[in-house]
A and B are shown apart, each in its own frame.
Chain A
Amino acid sequence: KAGVTQTPRYLIKTRGQQVTLSCSPISGHRSVSWYQQTPGQGLQFLFEYFSETQRNKGNFPGRFSGRQFSNSRSEMNVSTLELGDSALYLCASSRGASGDIQYFGAGTRLSVL
């Protein structure tokens, strides 16, 4: 069974640009969550999508957005990039019920110059 796949693995952007990251969940999983990992803040929850609807949202500015498609694949978009957005962005998938384990992808390393 294939795991969670995130593309691309690495990205370099400049301030002011926008970026789109992609996540393909484990087959059969309907929930996709996104997390940001930085050295100073650890792993921070961005948002969760379930059946194409945002079900939960963390404390990030509106520049961070996402969506989920009918096949459960998800994309995350960051507009007007800032230097502080440099981080590892992790996607996790689960079946979506309470207590389900979240399985993580390897992440996308974003560097903003």
Chain B
Amino acid sequence: DQQVKQNSPSLSVQEGRISILNCDYTNSMFDYFLWYKKYPAEGPTFLISISSIKDKNEDGRFTVFLNKSAKHLSLHIVPSQPGDSAVYFCAASAQETSGSRLTFGEGTQLTVNP
């Protein structure tokens, strides 16, 4: 039972354009969401997070949007840079019931072409 799904295994965009990565979840108990990026041979690196009491959070070029009614979140990267090429993981936690346990999506490989 995949509670967090990233339906696009890969995404390719041109440098300077917007990258939009999507994530859907099924567990209504999830109340905290995070995005991590991962380069080969490294561990996941935290990027940005959002609590379920918000619908948007921005940090520089990165913005995460949360649509609770649709159980959907997205990560926008503007403008995209070649160094952003990595695997992006969406993760969720249900803090009241499961503490800091994270449930991850399968990841989306983002390629930013110069």
Contacts and interface: CB of A to CB of B under 8 A. Distances in A.
B98 interface: yes
Interface size for chain A: under 10, 10 to 19, 20 to 34, or 35 or more residues? 20 to 34
Interface in A87-113: 90, 92, 94, 96, 98-107
B95 interface: yes
Interface in B31-58: 32, 34, 36, 41-46, 49, 51
Nearest to A90: B43
Interface size for chain B: under 10, 10 to 19, 20 to 34, or 35 or more residues? 20 to 34
A42 B106 contact: yes
Nearest to A4: B43
Main secondary structure of the interface of A (DSSP, over half): strand
A96 B101 contact: no
Nearest to A46: B101
Interface string B13-43: 0000000000000000000101010000111
Kindly list the 7 A-B residue pairs having the minimum CB-CB distance in the complex, ordered from nearest: A104-B43, A43-B104, A98-B95, A42-B106, A104-B44, A106-B43, A56-B101
Interface of A: 4, 6, 31, 33, 35, 42-45, 48, 55-56, 58, 90, 92, 94, 96, 98-107
